[in-house]
């Protein structure tokens, strides 16, 4: 049972910015225009990426169709402009996110707003 204020997303396509393997670039598990493959490793998968400025205008130009699955079993498509950027938490006890200057930051993750509370 979901507690009040919890999100509804179970799974979502990856859309991110400034991952340590593709700095200053947008990345996605879905192919998008002018993107190249960022090779995977023994512990991570390959993904599509292309350099770009971190801006709402650049995010809107990505032209990639993304999907998310929800706790009730339905799946919805969404666009990059329908997302909220979030950082990965490094220290759960304080909520501190990964700093940008560590060299291993997972960067920003864009999550669909419709499933967040």
Instruction: Answer yes or no: is 2 within a domain.
Output: no
- C-alpha to C-alpha distance for 53 and 46, rounded to whole angstroms: 21
pLDDT at 95: 92
For the residues 85-101, what does the mean pLDDT come to? 90
For the residues 83-101, what does the mean pLDDT come to? 90
Instruction: Answer yes or no: is 18 within a domain.
Output: yes
pLDDT at 40: 93
Instruction: Answer yes or no: is 3 within a domain.
Output: no
Does 44 have pLDDT greater than 60?
A: yes
pLDDT at 86: 93
> Does residue 17 contact residue 107 with C-beta atoms inside 8 Å?
yes
Instruction: Answer yes or no: is 54 within a domain.
Output: yes
Phi, psi of 103, deg, nearest 5: 85, 0
Instruction: Answer yes or no: is 46 within a domain.
Output: yes
The domain tally of the chain equals 1
Instruction: Name which of 12-16, 45-49, 100-104 the model is least confident about.
Output: 100-104
Instruction: Answer yes or no: is 82 within a domain.
Output: yes
Instruction: Answer yes or no: is 4 within a domain.
Output: no
User: Rounded to two decimals, what is the model's pTM?
Assistant: 0.86
Closest CA to 19 of 48, 59, 55, 43: 48
Alpha carbon 65 to chain centroid, angstroms: 13
Instruction: Answer yes or no: is 110 within a domain.
Output: yes
pLDDT at 7: 74
For the residues 30-39, what does the mean pLDDT come to? 96
Does 24 have pLDDT greater than 60?
A: yes
84 lies in which domain range? Answer: 9-115
Residue with tokens 């304080």: 94
pLDDT at 33: 92
Does 2 have pLDDT greater than 60?
A: no
């Amino acid at each position: 049972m979901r507690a009040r204020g919890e999100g509804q997303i179970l799974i979502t396509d990856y859309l991110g910015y400034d991952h340590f393997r593709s700095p200053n670039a947008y990345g996605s598990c879905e192919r998008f225009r002018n993107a190249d493959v960022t090779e995977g490793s023994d512990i991570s998968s390959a993904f599509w990426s292309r350099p770009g400025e971190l801006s709402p205008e650049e995010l809107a130009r990505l032209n990639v169709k993304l999907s998310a699955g929800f706790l009730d079993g339905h799946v919805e498509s969404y666009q990059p402009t329908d997302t909220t950027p979030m950082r990965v938490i490094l220290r759960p006890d304080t909520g501190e996110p990964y700093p940008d200057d560590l060299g291993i930051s997972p960067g920003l993750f864009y999550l669909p707003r419709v499933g967040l509370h």
